[in-house]
């Protein structure tokens, strides 16, 4: 009698590679790019993969920005109870993407990290609650697309001054909005965020 052995299916590589940054809970996401004679196809989000990795995936609002040369947007977040996680990716151009940890009790509280996002790389950033986000345009125009887990709430919309925490921005005189120019320095910010380790 011939005994049949079950054949284990080959493991399929994840369509989205997750690369931790130095700030706990923040990740650069590198999706697989399918390229053929027509162009490219890139999957940037899959709910089941996020849930399996313990990342928030209940995005309720999506928007995008278009930014020209020397523009700096940041450092943005919303405070509780309207705080949110973000999935941010660059569909065109190149951006210096900057994250700033505002979570008290975090081993990297007050520290920042930088990842280059670009349309050519098709990479993205996962930004958890309590981490401020901003970017500088390296190659214009930059189109950034954001998915967030809470809707915009002007009463809880907040930020940190872009030049108050030591990030090596390429310009000392970037184009910023009046709103961004009025944000408090990191040293003057009383953080409502707590690290959930």
Nearest to 27 by CA among 68, 58, 5, 55: 55
Within 8 A by CB and 6+ apart from 187, the residues are 164
Single out the catalytic residue among 89, 126, 136, 146.
146
Q: Is 156 one of the catalytic residues?
A: no
Catalytic (active site) residue 92: no
Handedness of CA 58, 27, 162, 117 (dihedral sign): negative
Distance CA 154, CA 135 (A): 21
Q: Taking the CA atoms of the chain, what radius of gyration do you get in angstroms?
A: 19
Torsion of CA 52, 157, 178, 63, to 10 degrees: 40
* Options 64, 76, 89, 92, the catalytic residue: 76
Say if CB 34 and CB 41 are below 8 A apart: yes
Nearest in space to 187 (alpha carbons), one of 127, 110, 124: 110
DSSP 28: E
Q: How far is CA 180 from the centre of its chain?
A: 18
Positions marked catalytic: 76, 146
């Amino acid at each position: 009698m011939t005994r049949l052995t079950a054949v284990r299916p080959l493991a399929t590589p994840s369509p989205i590679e997750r690369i931790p940054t130095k700030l706990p809970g923040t990740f650069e996401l590198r999706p697989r790019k399918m390229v053929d004679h027509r162009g490219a196809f890139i999957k940037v989000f899959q709910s089941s993969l996020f849930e399996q990795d313990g990342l928030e995936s209940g995005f309720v609002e999506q928007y995008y920005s278009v930014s020209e040369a020397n523009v700096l947007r940041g450092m943005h977040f919303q405070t509780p109870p309207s705080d949110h996680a973000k999935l941010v990716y660059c569909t065109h151009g190149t951006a210096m993407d900057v994250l700033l940890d505002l979570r008290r009790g975090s081993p990297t509280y007050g520290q920042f990290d930088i990842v280059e996002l670009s349309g050519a790389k098709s990479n993205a950033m996962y930004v958890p609650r309590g981490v401020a986000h901003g970017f500088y345009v390296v190659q214009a125009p930059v189109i950034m697309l954001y998915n967030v887990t809470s809707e915009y709430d002007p009463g809880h919309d907040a930020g940190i001054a872009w030049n108050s925490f030591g990030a090596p921005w390429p310009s000392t005189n970037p184009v910023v909005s009046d709103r961004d120019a009025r944000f408090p320095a990191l040293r003057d910010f009383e953080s409502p965020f707590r690290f959930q380790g």
